[in-house]
Amino acid sequence: MRHLLNINHLALYALYIPTLLCAVLPFEPIQKFISSEQQAVKKFRDLQIGELNFIHTTDTHGWLGSHLNEENYDATWGDLISFVDKLRQNVIKENDLLLIDTGDKHDGNGLSDATIPNGLNSTQIFNEMNYDLLTLGNHELYVEDNTVLEFYETASNPKFKGKYVSSNVEFIKEDGSKVPFGSKYRYFTTKNKDLRILAFSFLFNFERANQRATVTPVANALKQEWFKEVTKTYSRDDVDVIIVFGHLPVSDPENREINHLHSKLRHNYPNTFIHYFGGHTHIRDFVSLDNKAYGIQSGRFCETVGFSSVDDVKKESPVVSRRYIDFNLDSFMHHAKVKNIDDFDTELGLTVNEHIKELREDLNLTTVFGYVPSTYYMYNKPLSSPHNIYNLLTTKVLPRLVSDRPDVIAESGGRIIMINSGSIRFDLHEGPFTTDTKYTISPFSNTWNYIKLPLELAMQIESYLNGMGPILTLNVPGENRRHCPFVNDKSLPKGYTTSDDLGCEGDDTLHRSEHEYRIPNVVQSIDIINEDAKTIDFVYYSFIQPYVLEALNDLNEDQNIVDHEFSEQDCKIYGGASTKDLLREYIISLGNKSGNSINI
Ligand SMILES: *[C@@H]1O[C@H](CO)[C@@H](O)[C@H](O)[C@H]1NC(C)=O
Ligand SMILES: *[C@@H]1O[C@H](CO)[C@@H](O)[C@H](O)[C@H]1NC(C)=O
Ligand SMILES: [Zn+2]
Ligand SMILES: [Zn+2]
């Protein structure tokens, strides 16, 4: 979790805002925008095919229509469908290939988030993939409508009968009865190698599910009767491979959920090969839990297709391998051993791509509002850099906030505007700024509150919150267990240089490393008009209010600046546009400064 307050909780506040179609700029659709940075030559690392092979997706968050401003991730969901088909046909052949997804399909992209309920159409597109095993993530459990949609459209879809597995989540039906969210487990035999597989799926201990679902902590689920029965029915002699795929991280030094799960499974199956598939923390990762147990995690946002394989799976020393495939056509065609695009596309792949295009148009996601002159990064530039997105927000965007309430401004000595860094989800890429960009940068619709505060107190909140313990810590990306060399080779394209338990060569494409900087929990924009004024307006996302109040009371208890205990009564609605709308207005204000033609 690289996000403040576990950013996933913010999704709870993601409501649909009707799109205002003002100021649409007249761009000529001529040719695809190409980022100059991505012209470098590609070098690939090949897949190592085993008797049992896996394709793994996770945390797609609605990014089924590719990354329009990022050449490196230019493939769509339809392309992935074609890739899997061609890979099977040309490369896997008489071996086995299983397709697995580990959830989080909403919140992050207009394709999923611009409909009511969110995911209405993107779910259909997602479900065109012929998964062998699939499940849900926490983002399917925040809002009731999402949960109902997921249960009826996907978990209960005849296409996925038996294949949709959830071992520790229950759905609550209209009549109040509780049923498993799909199957509790799946036992099956693979098509080509006759491997007997027992599969479970666990969601991490998620405590904010809406009233239509319940999550049983993994440790409790393993003590339940059904689990005892399954392990009795399918004993160690009936199982060649155990697959545990779920929405939980494969490296979890804090809660160690996967480690507890593994020791329990090892108790029942001391010598069986176990493969874990994880998600949620949005990283590329591969762990070795013992010499017959491994786990892969395959990134986020359709930037990565995870591949892993195992050979000699029934022998004493199985051979495993993994690759993180960049979600682009070059990689797909390379690994599927297809030379030209006409041999690559399948009928279903093309149909799905057509559907994505139609949906994007129906939802007006292609509407171009302006042009982003250069890329603004979350982690790859320091906060002090003008190319950092938080720097852009605090210096250029947040100052544009105007309260709905004229009385607020009249009597103020100035204001501070604070946001949590976790509310921003993605880099703002050079290129056209569309309706979709708004959803990708910040899928949440924040509301602003404010408190009148003495300047002296207001000025201390930031450092208080940024120094705060576990609930507010950010995971620094790249802070992995291993330390792989920083790759500086300018001839390589920028991208992931992953380090995992198997080493430094997991990425399918050789990349140049990017610097990563630690970003604080909160950032703020300060505008003090009158240093002598008694009070200023401290404006913040309503979402972080409990933390602001905690900071205020803690600071004031030590320093006695005011004779007052702060509570919700002190917090008032400030109003004004959301950050994503302020950002859009800022981009519009820049005008069309690009000489490039764009076609999206
Ligand atoms: C989206 O879903 C609605 C409701 O099922 C349907 O009427 C509409 O045609 C769909 N649009 C697209 C582009 O799939
Ligand atoms: C898309 O734009 C058209 C034309 O401006 C409008 O009629 C339609 O309601 C919009 N659709 C959505 C989903 O915003
Ligand atoms: Zn996620
Ligand atoms: Zn998640």
What pLDDT digit, counting tens, does each position of 490-535 carry? 999 999 999 999 999 999 999 999 998 988 999 999 998 887 778 8
The predicted model gives 22-42 an average pLDDT of: 43
CA 150 / ligand 1 centre spacing (Å): 16
In contact, 133 and 186? CB cutoff 8 Å:
yes
**Alpha-carbon span 146 to 150, nearest angstrom:** 6
Q: Looking at 193-234, list the stretches that DSSP marks H as alpha helix, in order from N- to C-terminal side.
A: 218-221, 225-233
Instruction: For the chain, report the end-to-end CA distance as a whole number of angstroms.
Output: 32
Q: Which two tokens stand for residue 8?
A: 């996933």
Distances (CA, A) of 75 to 303, 352, 358: 9, 12, 17
Cβ of residue 364 lying under 6 Å from some atom of ligand 2: yes
- Gyration radius (Cα) of the chain, Å: 25
The predicted model gives 470-479 an average pLDDT of: 44
pLDDT in tens, 353-399: 999 999 999 999 999 999 999 999 999 999 999 999 999 999 999 99
Q: Most distant CA pair in the chain: distance in Å?
A: 79
In contact, 442 and 540? CB cutoff 8 Å:
no
Cβ of residue 367 lying under 6 Å from some atom of ligand 2: no
**Alpha-carbon span 323 to 325, nearest angstrom:** 6
Ligand 2, pocket-test mutation among 364, 369, 435, most atoms within 8 A of CB: 364
Amino acid occupying residue 443? P
The predicted pLDDT at position 210 comes to 95
Q: Name the phi and psi angles at 118, rounded to 5.
A: -65, 135
Ligand (nearest to CA of 18): 2
Atom 12 in ligand 1: which residue has the minimum CA distance?
A: 359
- Going by C-beta distance under 8 Å and a sequence separation of 6 or more, which residues neighbour residue 434? 68, 365, 366, 367, 368, 369, 600
Residue 217 has pLDDT above 90, yes or no: yes
pLDDT in tens, 409-429: 666 789 999 999 988 999 999
Q: What is the pTM of this model?
A: 0.88
DSSP E strands: which ranges in 59-130?
96-101
